[in-house]
């Protein structure tokens, strides 16, 4: 966000406000989500596991 000239903490604040408004009105979100169960492939699952590992390592160590 700083590349765009915005403050990072302010961007996080407005993102959280936006997400909380979406969560308070779940009917609005349903039209954008698929109505059936989506399953990840093995490759996608491995990729997300690696991303989670990197994020945990970065934020908790």
Question: What's the residue count for the chain?
Answer: 61
| Torsional sign, CA 27, 31, 32, 38 | positive
Global pTM reads: 0.42
Q: pLDDT tens, 7-44?
A: 777 778 888 888 777 666 667 667 777 778 878 899 99
Give the pLDDT score at 2.
58
Q: What contacts 20, CB < 8 A, 6 or more positions away?
A: none
Q: Which among 18, 38, 40 is positioned nearest to 29, based on CA atoms? A: 18
**Which comes out higher in pLDDT, residue 55 or 59?**
55
């Amino acid at each position: 966000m700083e590349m765009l000239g915005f403050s990072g903490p302010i961007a996080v604040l407005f993102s959280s406000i936006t997400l909380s408004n979406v969560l308070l009105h779940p009917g609005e979100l349903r039209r954008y989500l698929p109505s059936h169960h989506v399953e990840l492939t093995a490759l996608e699952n491995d990729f997300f596991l690696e991303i989670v590992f990197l994020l945990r390592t970065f934020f908790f160590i």
